[in-house]
Amino acid sequence: MKISTKMKKTLNDQVALEASASNNYLAMASWCEVTGYQGAANYFYAQSDEERTHLLKVVHYLNALGAVATIPAIKSPASSYKSLEGIIKTALKNEQTVTAAIHKMVEIAQKEKDHSTYAFLEWFVNEQVQEETKFETILQKFDLLGRDKLGINEIDKFLAVEASASPEPAV
């Protein structure tokens, strides 16, 4: 089975997007850890791992088709952040970018009548709904619990619980 050059390029771009998401979440986790937000740190370390499993899904898919995945260079992430709320906002924006990229790929697959890639991408479409909801829910907590020290501490505790919830099945 073959995929088009365009489809291959778009899937390789997705590998780069997932790699960059994983790297950004790792940097966020590290900042949270040194800032004293242990729950948020655990949450973002897990999120970084999760993005890596997404990257691997695409790499395996390309390689299985004989299209050969390109492993990308990754841009340096930010090393410092202003606030936990700022991090969550950035994370949500990042997920919205990823969703848009996935929807674009789905459109290409449809246009090219590439049924296997279309079916492959269905998992990612559903995953992105969850990813955006996750960060929207956390953002909402800042309005509900407040942005003072006590509020942030409650949000950190919430993230600790979320981080210890059972991870998604591996690739």
Sites of contact with Fe ion (CB under 5 A): 18, 51, 54, 131
What's the min distance (Å) between Cβ of 156 and Fe ion? 21
Q: What are phi and psi of 125, to 5 degrees?
A: -60, -50
Name the residue with the smallest CB distance to Fe ion: 54
What's the min distance (Å) between Cβ of 57 and Fe ion? 9
What's the min distance (Å) between Cβ of 129 and Fe ion? 11
Closer residue to Fe ion in complex, CB, 114/131: 131
Closer residue to Fe ion in complex, CB, 20/84: 20
Asked whether 147 and 85 are in contact (CB, 8 A), the reply is yes
* Residue showing tokens 């242990």: 38
Closer residue to Fe ion in complex, CB, 8/54: 54
3-state secondary structure 78-110: CCCCCCHHHHHHHHHHHHHHHHHHHHHHHHHHH
